[in-house]
Structure 1
Amino acid sequence: MPATPPGKPFTASEDPYALVRTRRYAGLLVMAALLGVPVSAVAFGFLALVSELQSLTYTELPRAMGFEETPSWWPVPLLGAAGLLVGLTVRRLPGRGGHRPAEGLVSTGAPAPADLPGIALAALLSLGVGAVLGPEAPLIALGGGLAVWAAGRVKRDLAPEGRALVGASGSFAAVSALLGSPLLGAFLLMEVSGLAGPMLGVVLVPGLLSAGIGALIFTGLGSWTGLGTYSLSLGEVPPAAAPGFAGFGWALVLGVAAAFAGAGIRRLSLALQERVERRTVVATAVMGLVIGGLALVYAETSGKAASEVLYSGEHDLGHLLSGSAEYSVGALVLLIVCKSLAYCASLSCFRGGPVFPAMFVGAAAGIALSHLPGLHLTAGFAMGIGAMCVAMLRLPMTSVLLATLLLGREGLTVMPLVIVAVVVAYVVTLRLTPAPVDRAGPKAV
């Protein structure tokens, strides 16, 4: 009896493990392992190129034009020009630059080979100049698309379920080290795909194999090139206090607040997306000017770097925690407002992923609230990350793991608080989400 393709319901009479017992599945495991090497190398190269573009546009180019330091107004024209190019890429190239980040992380399968250049170009233009998005969504698409394309060149009669497994494995390899652990990337993709039951193991095994190999490749290339692994990590983490009643009370507050904040960001970004798509090129350039303007306002008002509003925030999380004493409550509130609005504008038209900016906004909110009685700094930081992630992504398991594994040993101490905050934020988020409209109309009785 043929195995059920991933994502397709199966009846009790079908054997969901039939595919695993076949020689074809063993061949797919070998193919997933082999493809994990080039796919992870391409992903590493993509992240290295993004990093070089960021350095070129915000450090080297201003110096070449005679500025000793990057002017605070610099992001405004730069993001406006980048928005124009992203808009042209989305409008003219196949694939429209990949998935629209305002709609969250969604499982759409591996993109067609013709779509890959547009996805890569739109993401490089977005991330390289400071759009408030992360690289995870483009990497998932590029990893899956490249893996399916390469597998098709090797085995042209690959069955649909085989292509699905290979595509998932390529995505696992591409994000294997990005979140700090191959396991975190696996949980992210598992929850995004919505797989459950026996089929989860069928798809997860080759994915984990590719992720493990990908992480090794990332580590090896990072050491060989001296560029690092581009993996999410923190520096020194302040000791966490044991959870108490006050901490659990703050978990409820943070969970509810994150749900409402996430709902606001999501609805505003979707409303902006609807308007942007009417005139993609011009409107994307305008959104770029808006993002640059918000960075300028923050820099001139707070006296801090405009870059704190730009980018995904992945590399600023460590400084935000270790240097929290450098920020007044007013500066943190201004940072949260400017970063959130720039996040909305980026989600509406640029191309990238929504994970890291959500983490940064939640972390900043948790640190700001830690100035109030009863909330410890490290606990507020972790709960803010978990609650805001689940509010934006609706992936509860991934959100808990992101917030706790990132903190190392201290994450285990605050894990109960993070779980409460994530669960509360998840439930309230679902309650705030409008029910799907049945467009088919009333059914005949």
Structure 2
Amino acid sequence: MSDTSNDGVLAQHRVRTLAALTVPAILIGVVSGLILFGLDEAAHLLQLLLWEDLPGAVGMDPESGWWIFGMLTLTGAAVGLIARYVPGHAGPDSAESELAESALPIGVVPSLAAAAVLGLAGGVSLGPENPIIAINAAVLTVLVGRLFPKVPGKLIVGMTIAGTVGALFGTPVAAALLFTGIVGSTAGAGALFDKLFLPLVAAGAGAVTMNLVGGTLLDITVPAAGNVNGWDILAAMIIAPLAAAFGLLGIFAFRWAHRMFHRLQNPVLFTTLGGALLGLLGVIGGPLTLFKGAEESSKLLSTPGESFGTLLLLAVIKLCALVVAAAAGFRGGRIFPSVFIGVAFGLAAGALLPGVPVSVVVSAAVLGLVLAVARDGWLALFIAVVITSDVAITGLLCLAVLPAWLVVTNAPHMLADDGGGGHRGPAAAPKS
């Protein structure tokens, strides 16, 4: 058979394989979105109970220092008890693993879900991304493995990451960019999109499902910039690397803090201590510095006229809260609180540069913070663009990411066991 015939046969086989795997990819995306919605809704209902119903029943102000300190300390103790005594022990420490490197045993899911929901509802400064990806990977590896036994487990995990990322941000674009960086170095142009095909299907299904049942979790609106000028570009190229350097301060502090907390060995001790420290930070920073930071970012953007000092203090407190929460054994992700830190840092920069549009200073700062914490240029660019909904500044951000990347490229990642240098992204590229 000629080479041309062989190529044709291989192409037909590839098409049939991708078409056959589309069904489990859609299933993975839909289930990923539904589980995310369920976990987020459970956390929201528990948050209402802890921060509205309960203080109302006992006649206390939920924004008072005593309530904030007490609630976060008790949240830390509860998460520590789960990690110490409940079967599954709340899964691996989020500070020691990146997304879903492999599927966890299904028996870990209940304790991990409980720890994640408690943290989200109790005011801990972490997002849902790490635990929900781990939960979805464990559940879907079992479910899809039974319904479609020929689908490789590694591919299921890869599609689950894509489906969950699509659901988290309400669009498959973030997942596409994330996986482009993962598989791009090992695939040619045609093979690259073949490898992106199934993650895109899963991400699209996850995004559509989440939009239908609950909407995106990152619902932040920044006023459009309109036309940008040279000064705006210069400002963005300065703010983004400064924000990235600010984020790196937190990463270096995190690595030290993680060692200090874990010297206590017992998770009940170090998560309770972490909760108490988070409570003190919450007393200083107020309710805006609590929780994952998405709703709080919107509130901060809708509160004009804050001074430079106040905004910078909010950024510092939230960065400290992120460091403590990540280091003290709480289960959660770091992207959502990084967005809040970026918004506060950007607004602080805007207070010094009143002539630069808010969308420019905020998106540049968010770009730098997410880049430092997540160490993924595509994801940082996507989040910076999506919070502004302003295509006009996309080119500006593509320039701003360059000096910011030079700042972070050789620095350690926000992982307890990472010495810097190597990429510690999601699971390895899935093969189809």
Normalised to the residue count of structure 1, the TM-score between the two structures is 0.82
Residues 251, 421 of structure 1: 8 Å contact kept: yes
CA 1:427–1:57: 2 relative to 1, 3 Å: same
Answer with 177-186 or 191-200: which moved more.
191-200
How far apart in 1 are the matches of 2:259 and 2:339?
A: 25
How far apart in 1 are the matches of 2:183 and 2:81?
A: 30
Q: 2:193 aligns with which of 198, 201, 205?
A: 201
User: After superposition, what is the alpha-carbon deviation per residue over 1:73-119, rounded to whole angstroms, capped at 9, x for unaligned?
Assistant: 21211111111221232334565534544457445122222222232
Residues 139, 175 of structure 1: 8 Å contact kept: no
The alpha-carbon deviation at position 53 of structure 1 amounts to 1.4
How far apart in 2 are the matches of 1:188 and 1:105?
A: 13
CA 1:207–1:330: 2 relative to 1, 3 Å: same
Gapped regions of structure 1 (runs ≥ 5):
1-13, 223-228, 299-305, 438-445
How far apart in 1 are the matches of 2:347 and 2:178?
A: 25
CA 1:188–1:65: 2 relative to 1, 3 Å: farther
What is the letter of the counterpart of residue 106 of structure 2? P
Residues 338, 370 of structure 2: 8 Å contact kept: yes
| Residues 1:88 and 2:84 aligned together | no
Equivalent positions of 1:316-327 (< 5 A) are 316-325=296-305, 327=306
Residues 102, 266 of structure 1: 8 Å contact kept: no
CA 1:396–1:267: 2 relative to 1, 3 Å: same
How far apart in 1 are the matches of 2:382 and 2:421?
A: 29
Equivalent positions of 1:325-364 (< 5 A) are 325=305, 327-348=306-327, 349-364=329-344
| Residues 1:295 and 2:282 aligned together | yes
How far apart in 1 are the matches of 2:192 and 2:257?
A: 36
Answer with 77-86 or 282-291: which moved more.
77-86
CA 1:355–1:435: 2 relative to 1, 3 Å: closer
The alpha-carbon deviation at position 294 of structure 1 amounts to 0.8
How far apart in 2 are the matches of 1:311 and 1:78?
A: 12
Match of 1:166 in 2: 156
Q: 2:253 aligns with which of 263, 268, 275?
A: 268
What is the letter of the counterpart of residue 160 of structure 2? G
Root-mean-square deviation (Å): 2.7
Count of residue pairs the alignment pairs up: 403
Residues 99, 130 of structure 2: 8 Å contact kept: no
Match of 1:380 in 2: 361
| Residues 1:258 and 2:243 aligned together | yes
The alpha-carbon deviation at position 230 of structure 1 amounts to 4.4
User: After superposition, what is the alpha-carbon deviation per residue over 1:16-66, rounded to whole angstroms, capped at 9, x for unaligned?
Assistant: x77962755433221222343333222211111111111111111101112
Normalised to the residue count of structure 2, the TM-score between the two structures is 0.85
| Residues 1:243 and 2:224 aligned together | no
Q: 2:379 aligns with which of 393, 398, 401?
A: 398
How far apart in 1 are the matches of 2:174 and 2:245?
A: 26
| Residues 1:77 and 2:65 aligned together | no
Match of 2:218 in 1: 232
Answer with 188-197 or 108-117: which moved more.
188-197
How far apart in 2 are the matches of 1:98 and 1:201?
A: 33
SS of residue matched to 1:134: coil
User: After superposition, what is the alpha-carbon deviation per residue over 1:340-373, rounded to whole angstroms, capped at 9, x for unaligned?
Assistant: 1111101112111110111111111111111223
The alpha-carbon deviation at position 248 of structure 1 amounts to 2.9
CA 1:20–1:200: 2 relative to 1, 3 Å: farther
| Residues 1:210 and 2:202 aligned together | yes
The alpha-carbon deviation at position 187 of structure 1 amounts to 2.7
Match of 2:425 in 1: none
CA 1:342–1:68: 2 relative to 1, 3 Å: closer
How far apart in 2 are the matches of 1:195 and 1:109?
A: 21
CA 1:123–1:260: 2 relative to 1, 3 Å: same
How far apart in 2 are the matches of 1:260 and 1:175?
A: 26
Match of 1:40 in 2: 33
Residues 170, 208 of structure 2: 8 Å contact kept: no
The alpha-carbon deviation at position 404 of structure 1 amounts to 1.0
User: After superposition, what is the alpha-carbon deviation per residue over 1:226-261, rounded to whole angstroms, capped at 9, x for unaligned?
Assistant: xxx2432234x3241533332233223223322321
What is the letter of the counterpart of residue 240 of structure 1? A
Gapped regions of structure 2 (runs ≥ 5):
1-6, 413-418, 423-432
Q: Among the aligned pairs, what percent are the same residue?
A: 28
| Residues 1:109 and 2:92 aligned together | no
CA 1:144–1:367: 2 relative to 1, 3 Å: same
How far apart in 2 are the matches of 1:81 and 1:370?
A: 37
CA 1:104–1:430: 2 relative to 1, 3 Å: farther
SS of residue matched to 2:167: coil
